Chain A
Amino acid sequence: MSELLTKLPAQLRELATDSLYERLAYSHDMSPVEGFLTGDWLKTVPDLVVLPHSREDVALLLAWAEEERIPVTPRGAGSTSLFQSVPAKGGVVCDLSWLNTIGPWDLTAGTVRVGAGTIIYDLIQQAEMRGWTLATFPSSAPGGTIGGWFNNGGRGYGALLHGNLLEQVRGLEVVLPGGRIEWLTRDNSELPIEWFLGSEGTLGIVTQLEIELLRRPEAQGHIAFGFHDIAELQDFLTNYLWGPFLPYNVTFVSTTSGGQQLQRINWDAMLPSNFFVASFFGSLDHVELGIQRMRAFKSEYRVRQLPNWQAEKFWQDRYYNFRLQRTGPSLLGAEVVVPLAMISHYTRGIEQLATAQRKPMITYGYLINRKEVYVTTMFWSDEARTISYLLDLSLVSALYNIALKAEGKPVGIGLWNTPYLRHIYSARERRAMWERKQKLDPQLILNPGKTYRATKLLRPSVFSPAMLLTRGFRKLITRIGRARS
Chain B
Amino acid sequence: MTLPADAQAALDSFEHCSGWEQRARLLMQWGQRLPELNDADKTDANRVHGCESLMWLVGEQVDGHWQFAASSEARLIRGLVALLLARVNGLSTQALQQVDLPEWFNQLGLSRQLSPSRSNGLNAVLVRMRELAG
User: Do these two chains really belong together in a complex?
Assistant: no
Give me the interface of A with B, judged by CB distance under 8 Å: none
Give me the interface of B with A, judged by CB distance under 8 Å: none
